Structure 1
Amino acid sequence: MTLIGRTRERGVETLGLDAPHRRNALSAALVAELAGALADAGGDAAVRAVVLTHTGTTFSAGADLRDPPAPEALVGLLRQIVELPKPVVARVTGHVRAGGLGLLTACDIAVASHAATFAFTEVRIGVAPAVISLPVVPRTDPRALARYYLTGERLDAAEAVRVGLLTAAGDDVDETLAPVLDGLRRAAPEALAETKRLLTARVLETFDQDAADLTALSARLFSSAAAHEGMTAFLERRDPEWVV
């Protein structure tokens, strides 16, 4: 079963997360297939830029609780997006939760419709947004991030733009995206690659410094009793035992 759709138009490779029955959750299989598709696009001289989008009403619900990727695999995917020698643009028309926000912020540009919503829900299931902090923390407002990390509250698209999760939002995501793609098509490929390298240097420093510690933290928390209770409660559609 193919989990990533691929289309191309005028040098723009569109990769679509295509597991809507699982809300495009980041399973081990989806992460591996997306990594392969990104590698193909990154090595293809005919590709000027990559658009990362989705089918269904959810861009990504975060880690697949039934078949989660290894933390190292998720780190590798996020770094691959940041390091890809082509700009990666997120196109979002649905909801983004938890690990899906790691994908979103790893992209160089992120555009969403006003219908999209966003939330760091990790604390509500007994874990922390550990690995996804690698791209999230360098690219978002620290005071706002403290609130949304600690509470799990939902953000609308306008707030997501304000705090740095998104580049832009509009009623028609493709209308909002059109000038972005036009600009990328008009840019020299080598200049794009070098300019992206300038922009991602600080994010990659965070990967170099913190990836090992955050990977270990993620593994420890996901194997904890609190995570077991939180995930069980989520799957059973009830409050976990710590809710007061």
Structure 2
Amino acid sequence: MTLVLSGRERGIATLTLDSPANRNALSARLVDELAQALADCARDEAVRAVVLTHTGTAFSAGADLKAPPNPYTFVALLRQLVTLPKPVVARVDGHVRAGGIGLVGACDMAAASAGSDFAFTEVRLGVAPAVISLPLLPRMDPRAAERYCLTGERFTAAEAVRAGLLTVAAEDGDVDRVLAPLLDGLRRASPQGLAAAKQLLAARVLETFERDAEDLVQRSASLFASPEAREGMTALLERRDPAWVL
């Protein structure tokens, strides 16, 4: 059974993360399927833009601790989102955590319902949002990134707009209402114009990939192999506070 559903409507391809049982956690299989679906969209001349969305109450809970993707594969997926010659728009109607925020940040635009919430939970597990910082830090307000990456606290969709993570949030909860004008604009744009504009807009983000990706993958691997991270992961699975909580 596939973990990424695909649909088409008037030039917009919708890719839906469909693993609600584990809150769309980023497993090796899900990452591979999403990468293949994006590649298919890139080749399809009938696709003007891509919407990335989800089933269930979570867009993504972050890395699947039981079957995590290779970090290089995940970096490649984030880079694929940034470099895809067609705009990618995240549609969020639920919870987004850790690596899931990396997916949102790698998209060109993002819309969310008012009830959606976000959290960089890495620090509470003994690690850091290393790899996902590649698309996020060039786009987010620095003070907001510092607060939420250091505290791990939850923040609302409205706060995510102010932080530069989201393009728009639906105050009435109807994410499709605020998404509609974005998609209408993309349908009116020429394929060549969209590809050229996206290349210009993504240039600064790509610089971070070229400069920092290898270092951040190595740093992430070192953190995940540490005793503190093992304690953090164990505490999460056992539904208790890790030993360092005061």
TM (norm. structure 2) is 0.99
Q: Distance in 1 between matches of 2:155 and 2:228?
A: 25
- Corresponding pairs, count: 244
State the secondary structure of the residue aligned to 1:178: helix
Q: CA deviation at 1:176?
A: 0.4
Q: CA deviation at 1:157?
A: 0.6
Q: Distance in 2 between matches of 1:143 and 1:113?
A: 24
Q: CA deviation at 1:224?
A: 1.1
Paired-residue identity, % = 70
2:240 match: 238
1:178 match: 180
Aligned counterparts, 1:94-243, within 5 A: 94-170=94-170, 171-243=173-245
Letter in 1 for 2:235: A
Q: Distance in 2 between matches of 1:136 and 1:240?
A: 27
Q: Distance in 1 between matches of 2:219 and 2:185?
A: 40
Aligned counterparts, 1:22-33, within 5 A: 22-33=22-33
Aligned counterparts, 1:80-95, within 5 A: 80-95=80-95
Q: Distance in 1 between matches of 2:137 and 2:119?
A: 15
Give every structure 1 segment of 4 or more consecutive aligned residues whose post-TM-superposition deviation is greater than 4 Å.
none
State the secondary structure of the residue aligned to 1:243: coil
Is there any run of 5+ residues in structure 1 with no aligned partner, and where?
none
Q: CA deviation at 1:144?
A: 1.2
Q: Which string of whole-angstrom CA distances, capped at 9 and with x for unpartnered residues, describes residues 78-119 of structure 1?
A: 000000000000000010000000000000000000010000
State the secondary structure of the residue aligned to 1:69: coil
Q: Distance in 1 between matches of 2:219 and 2:43?
A: 33
Q: CA deviation at 1:70?
A: 1.1
TM (norm. structure 1) is 0.99
Q: Distance in 2 between matches of 1:88 and 1:144?
A: 23
Q: CA deviation at 1:56?
A: 0.1
TM-align CA RMSD = 0.5
Letter in 2 for 1:237: R
Given the alignment of the two structures, is residue 72 of structure 1 paired with residue 72 of structure 2, yes or no? Answer: yes
Is there any run of 5+ residues in structure 2 with no aligned partner, and where?
none
Q: Which string of whole-angstrom CA distances, capped at 9 and with x for unpartnered residues, describes residues 194-240 of structure 1?
A: 00000000000000000000000111111111111100100110000
Q: Which string of whole-angstrom CA distances, capped at 9 and with x for unpartnered residues, describes residues 165-214 of structure 1?
A: 10000021000000000000000000000000000000000000000000
State the secondary structure of the residue aligned to 1:59: strand
